[in-house]
Structure 1
Amino acid sequence: MIETNGVELWTEEFGDPAHPPVLLIAGSMSQGVTWPDALVGRLAAAGRRVIRYDHRDTGRSSVIDFERDPYSWAAVKDDALGVLDAYGIPAAHIAGHSAGGLVAQWIAAEHPDRVLSLAVIGSSPLGRREGEVLMRALTGQPSRPDDLPPPTPAFVEFYTKAMASPPPADRAAAIDFAIATARLLNGPDLPFDEDEQRRQEERIHDRARRPGSETGHQRAGVAYPDAEPAGLLGGVTAPTLVIEGTREPVKPGHGALIAAEIPGAGLLMIEGMGHLLAPQVLGEVADALLAHTGARPVT
């Protein structure tokens, strides 16, 4: 446990502290353990010092009373920097998944001295208000000319029904809904192991200080829609790798837009991958991250 930015954050470290540090930033409402153990293990075994952590309002980290202490995604970004500070790491390779990729882009844009390399997985370009695009799609509003590509029809159908339904009544219902969500996010091409996903969702539910507190991330986005800065990606200097699945249901095509904005960024499209880091793609993702983080030594 560390203390930073007025909150407690659960963190976990793997590998030799003398090896190049890699900070993994999970997505919105996601615990650090959503970075698969197999991926973390491969990175550590190949000579990386890997750190993952629970965002505020997730897992074992602080639960925030949003009415009393509202926060924005800028605070979530500062939490990530606080993790590096707590471990005494001046600069790290930073990899972010989904909204964690937005946080990673933000850090790379504002604090280039803290970022050895940047990897963005299944994410959207910083400053393009992807949340508003998502809500317009879910409420049946037409896209605007400058909007990001909307989520897939299957995603819209699933979450439209979910928004019209009462929230899960108990632990069993919450886990069943999480499994159904994971099945959608896995995409239609790769096999989906429901038993293994159930074990993961039970782990996530049971290690939370207060299940349901993760919705504070949604409240932060709604309360401070302008917190995410625009127009900064062109100034990112860190070597950048953008990864997207060919069956991405949430942010299809967003990876290419990130790569187009960041000078020199590379784009890796992984065949069949959806939004989740499914077991079938972990080898390819790990190999790509290892090659990318080996491109620039720690100084």
Structure 2
Amino acid sequence: MLTGEKKFVRSGQVRLWTERFGHPGDPSVLLIMGTSTPGIGWPDELVEALVDSGRQVIRFDHRDTGRSDCVDFTTHPYALADLAADATAVLDGHGVAAAHLVGSSLGAAIGQWLAVHRPARVRTLTAMASSPMGNNPGPAWARAMAGQPAAVDELPPPTARFLHHLVASAHAPRTTVAERMEADVQTWRVLNGEVLPFDEAAARRFVERCYARATDIAAAANHNLAGQRWDDDRRASLSAVTASTLVLHGSADPLFPPAHGEALAAQIPGAHLEIVPGMGHHPFFSPGLTERIAGSIIRHTT
């Protein structure tokens, strides 16, 4: 059974839950999860594969998720830069000067921010299921929701199925914990895409774990508010990235269609783009994809 060293570290006034695996002398991999998702979103199977390949692995709960502190966003709003500062605080808390950063979705945007603004902390970058950090998807989403065609110069909006799910989910009953959990499972189903099988039992177990260990499950919605803040540091050119970069993207990503991954790879000098056939936005509920993702990370960080 996989066991890690659990530890709280501080990022300013915020206390963050972290978990470290492997030998402290091995090269470090920092796993950075996506929007509203705690560190356990990185499955034990992936962590174990990385540790077995000779890497120290650290995963952590973002602020407002899991066992980390929750923030009153109204009085203490935060942005991508603050989430990036949390990631560096995790490294500092474990005495790691620089790490291989592996981020998914929002986590990949955090990785991009660090690769631009804190390059000394980044050995390599693996950006999965993401878009360029300076891309504001809001206008494209608004046009799609209004039934209007996309503008010529913007990256494509989510799929029609995903947008329909957003509307349906907004009207779904959420008066009980069971109803809220069911809605979350259905969101993971849609994020899985329509090509590869969806392991519903695994998704339910994950949602149950998230609810069981959350300080305040509703606080995770603050990530959406943080994602809507567009500061100048987020618009910085990705041409400044010097870390060797792997862009992993699913051909069936319903949130960020493949053009987003292609644009990200094009903006980072020397980046390698790997399109994974059939993969959706979150690969870890599709049987077999965890092993494939682990293999890609191991090759890139060797």
Given the two structures, how large is their TM-score scaled by the length of structure 2?
0.92
The 1:86–1:136 alpha-carbon spacing in structure 2 relative to 1, beyond 3 Å, is farther
For the Cα contact (< 8 Å) 2:80–2:234, is it kept in 1?
no
Instruction: Tell me the residue number matched to 2:187.
Output: 181
After TM superposition, where is structure 1 displaced by more than 4 Å over at least 4 residues in a row?
139-142
Distance in 2 between residues matched to 1:208 and 1:121, nearest whole Å: 25
Instruction: Tell me the residue number matched to 2:31.
Output: 24
The 1:144–1:44 alpha-carbon spacing in structure 2 relative to 1, beyond 3 Å, is same
Structure 1, residues 181-224: CA drift from partner, whole Å, max 9, x if none?
111111112111222211111001111001111011112233x3
Whether 2:291 is the aligned partner of 1:283: answer yes
For the Cα contact (< 8 Å) 1:155–1:249, is it kept in 2?
yes
Equivalent position SS for 1:50: strand
2:117 to 85, 94, 110: 110
* Letter in structure 2 aligned against 1:107: L
Distance in 2 between residues matched to 1:31 and 1:131, nearest whole Å: 24
Instruction: Tell me the residue number matched to 1:297.
Output: none
For the Cα contact (< 8 Å) 2:38–2:62, is it kept in 1?
yes
Instruction: Tell me the residue number matched to 1:203.
Output: 209
For the Cα contact (< 8 Å) 1:9–1:62, is it kept in 2?
yes
The worse-fitting range, judged by mean Cα deviation, of 62-71 and 22-31 is: 62-71
The 1:22–1:135 alpha-carbon spacing in structure 2 relative to 1, beyond 3 Å, is farther
Structure 1, residues 23-76: CA drift from partner, whole Å, max 9, x if none?
011111111111111111111111110001010011111111112212222111
For the Cα contact (< 8 Å) 2:100–2:124, is it kept in 1?
yes
Instruction: Tell me the residue number matched to 2:4.
Output: none
The 1:218–1:132 alpha-carbon spacing in structure 2 relative to 1, beyond 3 Å, is farther
1:144 to 128, 143, 151: 151
Structure 1, residues 83-123: CA drift from partner, whole Å, max 9, x if none?
11111111100010001101101100111111100000000
The 1:35–1:260 alpha-carbon spacing in structure 2 relative to 1, beyond 3 Å, is same
Instruction: Tell me the residue number matched to 1:257.
Output: 263
For the Cα contact (< 8 Å) 1:185–1:249, is it kept in 2?
yes
The size of the alignment, in residue pairs, is 292
For the Cα contact (< 8 Å) 1:5–1:75, is it kept in 2?
no
Extract unaligned runs of 5+ from structure 2. Answer: 1-7
Equivalent position SS for 2:217: coil
Instruction: Tell me the residue number matched to 2:71.
Output: 64
The 1:282–1:4 alpha-carbon spacing in structure 2 relative to 1, beyond 3 Å, is same
* Deviation, structure 1 residue 135: 4.5
* Deviation, structure 1 residue 247: 0.7
1:111-260 to 2 correspondences below 5 Å = 111-140=118-147, 142-163=149-170, 165=171, 168-222=174-228, 224-226=229-231, 229-252=234-257, 253-260=259-266
* Deviation, structure 1 residue 139: 4.9
* Letter in structure 2 aligned against 1:217: H
Distance in 1 between residues matched to 2:146 and 2:62, nearest whole Å: 28
The worse-fitting range, judged by mean Cα deviation, of 127-136 and 91-100 is: 127-136
For the Cα contact (< 8 Å) 1:242–1:258, is it kept in 2?
yes
The 1:138–1:59 alpha-carbon spacing in structure 2 relative to 1, beyond 3 Å, is farther
For the Cα contact (< 8 Å) 2:116–2:236, is it kept in 1?
no
* Deviation, structure 1 residue 157: 1.0
Instruction: Tell me the residue number matched to 2:60.
Output: 53
The 1:125–1:207 alpha-carbon spacing in structure 2 relative to 1, beyond 3 Å, is same
* Letter in structure 2 aligned against 1:290: I
Distance in 2 between residues matched to 1:257 and 1:288, nearest whole Å: 20
Provide the identity percentage: 42
Distance in 2 between residues matched to 1:240 and 1:263, nearest whole Å: 8
Distance in 2 between residues matched to 1:132 and 1:215, nearest whole Å: 20
Instruction: Tell me the residue number matched to 1:43.
Output: 50
Instruction: Tell me the residue number matched to 1:13.
Output: 20
